[in-house]
Amino acid sequence: MAGASDLAGVPKPPENPVVLERVAFMRSVEMLFDRKTMAISLPRFPAPPPIKGYIAIYDDGKGRVVAGAIVDKFMAANFGCALIMIPGVTAREYASREILPPDIEANLREVFNVGCAWFTWPEQRIVLRDVKPPGSAWPPELEPIFKSQMKRSDLEVEITGYPRGRITLGCVGA
Amino acid sequence: MLILVVDDSRAMRMVVQHKVRQCGHHDARFLEAENGEDALKIALANTAIDLILCDWNMPKMTGIEFLNKLREAECDVPFGFITSESAPEMLQAAAQAGAQFLLNKPFTVEALGAALESVVS
């Protein structure tokens, strides 16, 4: 059924961002690392997913948290290493540690920054606010987002040359 | 070609340089800065710079502030943003300030190549 704004011929801009679909996400990762990337959708975890890795928190540039990304330790190490072509064997070793070395963590943060593109929101900004290390408590603004099953994407990702890792993307509901 | 690469991420500065070479500019030479303030000093002191590739969000001085100050100083070196910012008002601000292009991260080598071609030619 057409909404009032449709009937008026003036499309209403979306009020919230949308998680990039799987293929577009793969393409985004390929562009960043210049490596063929495969991603498969996982059955959705019970909400919210367990935190055993790093959490990225995104806001709209005005302080409202609108999206988040959670990566397991493998994905975190892969992102931090692949950005500057550190090989997969090293990423695997880093993934076995409690936290990543500071320079790899800095790279991961930059990947999360580029990861603003994992959410589409025409006419609006999405800005990386913070990155939380493993063991952090659930950021209170993020928990309701990840409890939503409709606006979440759980993916297993293989970047060629790197071990498989998992990422969960979520954004605020419509 | 001498290119000033400005980004607060050391990794991203490396990525940009690598991708410029992948575009076929194997002889490109690079200067680096990690914020707009340092970049401004470098740009005004080096008249040989052919192109500036700059992030938007950086500490001390943002990319757009850097570009505005550069143009105020009547330095018209070609300038491209490479940023995760994509909001329309950012594009508009970049164009008004005199940027030649704005490339969103992540970007393909082909997209960077086309952007470089547009300013180098």
For the segment B47-57, what is each residue's pLDDT rounded down to a tens digit?
A: 999 999 999 99
Q: How confident is the model at residue A81 (pLDDT cuts 50, 70, 90)?
A: very high
Chain A residues inside the 8 Å CB shell of B90: 125
Q: Is the pLDDT of residue A5 over 50?
A: no
Q: Is the pLDDT of residue A7 over 80?
A: no
Question: Mind telling me how many Å the CA of A37 is from chain B's nearest CA?
Answer: 14
List b or e across B18-27, with b for residues whose CB sees 16 or more CB atoms inside 10 angstroms.
ebbeebebee
Q: Write down the mean pLDDT value for chain A.
A: 86
**Which residue, B72, B81, B85, B84, is CA-closest to B100?**
B81
Q: How confident is the model at residue A1 (pLDDT cuts 50, 70, 90)?
A: very low
Task: In whole angstroms, give the CA distance from residue A27 to residue A93.
Answer: 26
Chain B residues inside the 8 Å CB shell of A109: 9
First to last CA, chain B: 12
Q: How confident is the model at residue A147 (pLDDT cuts 50, 70, 90)?
A: confident
Question: Mind telling me how many Å the CA of A92 is from chain B's nearest CA?
Answer: 19
- Least confident span in A42-56, A59-73, A87-101, A122-136: A42-56
Token pair of A110 as six digits: 């930059």
List b or e across B98-110, with b for residues whose CB sees 16 or more CB atoms inside 10 angstroms.
ebbbbbbbbbbbe
- Looking at this predicted complex, what is its ipTM? 0.78
Chain A residues inside the 8 Å CB shell of B106: 28-29, 31-32, 114, 117
Instruction: Please judge whether A106 and B15 are an interchain contact, meaning their C-beta atoms are less than 8 angstroms apart.
Output: no
Chain B residues inside the 8 Å CB shell of A84: 11, 14-15
Mutate to test the interface with B, among A79, A114, A116 (most CBs of B within 10 A): A114
Q: CB contact, 8 Å: A37 with chain B?
A: no
Q: Provide the pLDDT for residue A3.
A: 43
What predicted TM-score, i.e. pTM, was given to this entire model? 0.85
Q: How confident is the model at residue A12 (pLDDT cuts 50, 70, 90)?
A: low
Q: Is the pLDDT of residue B5 over 90?
A: yes
Instruction: Please judge whether A110 and B87 are an interchain contact, meaning their C-beta atoms are less than 8 angstroms apart.
Output: no
B45-82 pLDDT, tens digit per residue, is 999 999 999 999 999 999 999 999 999 999 999 999 99
Q: Is the pLDDT of residue A109 over 60?
A: yes
